[in-house]
Amino acid sequence: MVQTVSKIYVKEDQIDEFVEVFKGMIEPTKKEKGYIQYEMYQDEENPALLIVLEQWETKEDFDNHMKSEHLGRIAPKMTEFMTKESEFNLCYKIVS
């Protein structure tokens, strides 16, 4: 299983619009091979910071998701709302 953590900083006056665009990712992503988790969280202190947590069965499943038609179509729209490059980490569970 792979876990990803993405911190996305968006324009303060366009948070709702960004979230609406992101919602378009949910249904097609849930149908992908290896999907476990695909969720968006909002930071308590900074509402313009959105955190996406993903889980995939394998790294290959994640890589395929990154090449998916829906991500290719929706990601450019999401980028328009961002104030800087998002922070991305792919990681593996070592203690639970």
Residues interacting with its own copies, by CB under 8 A?
A: 3, 5, 7, 19, 22-23, 26, 38-45, 49-51, 53, 89-96
We find the least distance from the C-beta atom of residue 51 to its own copies, in angstroms, to be 5
We find the least distance from the C-beta atom of residue 48 to its own copies, in angstroms, to be 12
Give whichever of 3 and 14 is closer to its own copies, judged by the CB atom: 3
For residues 85 and 34, give the distance between their C-alpha atoms in angstroms, rounded to a whole number.
27
CB atoms within 10 A of CB 24: 14
Nearest alpha carbon to residue 73 among 37, 38, 24, 33 = 24
Nearest alpha carbon to residue 55 among 76, 29, 73 = 29
Give whichever of 67 and 93 is closer to its own copies, judged by the CB atom: 93
We find the least distance from the C-beta atom of residue 19 to its own copies, in angstroms, to be 6
